[in-house]
A and B are shown apart, each in its own frame.
Chain A
Amino acid sequence: MTAAPAAVLGSGPTRVALVGSPNTGKTTLFNALTGSSARVGNYPGVTVERREGQLLGSEVRILDLPGTYALHGETPDEQIVTRILSGTLEGERVPDALLVVADATTLRRGLGLVREALDLGLPTIVVVTMIDEVKARGGKLDIMKLSRLLGVHVLGVVGHRGVGLEPLRGFLRDPASWPRPRALPRAADAEARFAWADQICREVGADRLEPDTRTDWIDRVLLHPVAGIAVFAAVMILLFQSIFAWAVPAMDAIDATFGELGVVSRAVLPAGWITDLWADGILAGVGSVLIFLPQILILFTFLHLLQDVGYMSRAAFVVDRVMGWVGLQGRSFVPLLSCYACAVPGMMAARTVASPRERLATILVSPFMTCSARLPVYTLLIAAFVPAERVLGPLGLQGLVMLGLYLLGAATAFGSAALLNRTLLRGTVSVFYMELPPYRMPTWRLLLRQVWGSARAFLKRAGTIILAASVILWMLLNFPTPEPNPAFSPAEQTRANVEASFAGRLGHAIEPAIAPLGFDWKIGVGLIASLAAREVIVATLAQIYASGEADDYTSLRQALVSDVDPRTGKHVFSLATALSLLVFFVFALQCTSTIVVMARETGSWRWPALAFGYMLALAWIGSFLTYHAARALL
């Protein structure tokens, strides 16, 4: 089944739109009503998710509109809602009826939006969620009376337990029979709407609730000036640990499986370039997509869990001030932290940043955080060229260089965020506001569905392009193939093949541009190959240096150290060259997956192009300075 066609004119299946503020249980309700029929897409031209599903056992379609606080919204999400409801979004028909969702415990705010929705005059049903919490807090909500006052059907539900859903499904099968709201006394602005809401709340008893003592009690600990920071640090360390360490066994298993599949394929299939393409291009490409899955699954399980229980907004509340210094906000912290594992899940996690401006800034600086793919490059070069001296007590020089690279990445990310804030994003002020919802138990089924949804979206939208890019890079590295020279050993032949390939020629072609950084054409080929993924440079250098096994660090290290330029008779790799290359990897956007996902998440190729250019310029300048400073000083 596919998503509904983009341009639906006039008639079509009956469509009911879900309207509601964030944190009202709207998505839980949508999932309960549509089951697994929901399809996620994008509205054209924007990165706002479009979710539509079919009411179980019926032809009626349900469109889950983005959460909104008002129907004259300012954010891209809210503008989509406004445009759909006013019929001005191309390809979207005005819904046949509205299901307006409001949280029973916060009706004094929620009725403001309900009122705006009623004023549209479409057939409407109001769904009041979380009625169990009203009872638990000693409240009594007169739903019959609320229905009378609003002039439309009002149904109370507890979405995650399925309470009250059966009558709602009954109504949903026949939206044409719903009454249209009657005209209410004019309420042109927020003041009038909330005055009306206060009046209604007094009459139905929605304004008398005991305090939520459980949330008060938890907040006294989690937002305590000292304990709050300690808990925040502990949660972040746990999250960091989980994506860094716990994902590794699964990633190794995927890596090994695809390596094994390649070996088996070669054994079974006849030798030739088609087999090479299959084993080294396609299989390796699929592997390079799937390798991200463990981290995405773990990170998104964490994110949705923290979000569902209510801690996510608390964490953002604690750290907001620090992030605010560089024009980011509290919610940017977790995505950026995730980027230490990998920028791909990190940028996807930036969806939790509600305001579009800060979300964009978060995504753009993500690639500076030291991802785990840089680690093999750092390890190889540091082990080969940085002396294993002790400098400060137990601290070795090698460890200090590694630490310095991590700090340089983080500092550049924050500096770039501040720069973006003062240049490209200047003047686009966004008001920072964030609800602190009550703590709630997570709904496991909803959690699993959300996590799987994120993973599927990654595989479908980014995976295909990443696969294509891997195959193209493979071709660059393997074509054209020169005549085999019988005098060469297999390793020497591999080296000759790489030099004759398109990538080899490209390496020679860019040599003048990278020579000032201390790089020769071989490093140039490595840089081109590392566009597939940064760590690929290690395997590529191994091929060029004909050191045999790609994983054999020791022999590659020795080959690098002893490599001599035939023209100058000097060593190609010096400490200065190694430091220069390290700095290059700190800055450069050497990762096709990052570029693809950045384009997907920002909805345009303009931003990754900008990021690539900016980061390449920084890399070139940083490497140039490093190379010449190192040569002068060391």
Chain B
Amino acid sequence: MVTVPLSRLEPGQTGRICAPEPGESIPLRLRDLGFVPGTLLLLRRRSPLGDPVELELRGYRICLRTEQLAAVRVELEPSSK
């Protein structure tokens, strides 16, 4: 089982959000947007200029800057490329 910061996910890869390490937390705004542990998400693409990235989770799509993704750890799904 591999866990990586969300910022390290490659386009086309799927990950499942992990519970944060003790002493860390997922920012409130991201949690309100549905970034809670157990949620499956797909990194769809990077912007043509490399940043931000487009993510799909909970049936909707959202873009975030890579620097904001470091606070979220995901477990890589085996099915992803």
Contacts and interface: CB of A to CB of B under 8 A. Distances in A.
Given A223-B54, A434-B63, A317 B47 contact: yes
Contacts of A92: none
Interface stretch (A318-326, A500-508, A610-618): A318-326
Interface stretch (A104-112, A118-126, A159-167): A104-112
A207 interface: yes
B34 to A, nearest CB: 5
A436 B47 contact: no
A109 B34 CA distance: 6
Centre residue among B27, B32, B57, B68 by max chain A CB count within 10 A: B32
A382 B3 CA distance: 63
A190 interface: yes
Given A194-B36, A432-B68, A433-B33, A108 B50 contact: no
Given A318-B48, A320-B47, A321-B50, A432 B32 contact: no
B29 A226 contact: no
Nearest to B34: A109
Nearest to A113: B32
A225 interface: yes
Centre residue among A207, A322, A324, A433 by max chain B CB count within 10 A: A433
Interface in A158-200: 189-191, 194-195
A321 B62 contact: no
Given A190-B28, A320-B65, A436-B62, A109 B52 contact: no
A436 B63 contact: yes
Interface in A515-547: none
A226 B49 CA distance: 10
Contact of B48 (A112, A209, A223): A223
A317 B32 contact: no
B47 to A, nearest CB: 5
Interface residues of B, number: 30
A106 B58 CA distance: 7
A434 B30 CA distance: 12
A224 interface: yes
B25 to A, nearest CB: 11
A194 B47 CA distance: 28
Interface in B56-81: 57-65, 68
B65 A432 contact: yes
Contacts of B5: none
B65 A106 contact: no
Contacts of B60: 105-106, 109, 435, 437
A107 to B, nearest CB: 7
Nearest to B46: A225
A237 B59 CA distance: 33
A442 interface: no
Nearest to A104: B59
A322 B49 contact: yes
A240 interface: no
A69 interface: yes
A223 B32 contact: no
A189 B30 CA distance: 12
Given A189-B31, A431-B68, A107 B59 contact: yes
Nearest to A74: B29
Contacts of A74: 28-29
Contacts of B38: 195
B17 to A, nearest CB: 10
Contacts of B49: 229, 318-322
B47 A321 contact: yes
Q: Which 7 A-B pairs have the closest CB atoms?
A: A190-B31, A70-B32, A108-B58, A109-B58, A321-B49, A106-B60, A436-B61
Given A106-B59, A190-B32, A435-B62, 7 more contacts: A69-B33, A109-B58, A190-B28, A209-B59, A317-B63, A318-B48, A320-B63
13 contacts: A69-B32, A109-B60, A223-B45, A223-B48, A320-B52, A324-B51, A431-B29, A432-B52, A433-B63, A435-B61, A436-B54, A436-B63, A437-B60
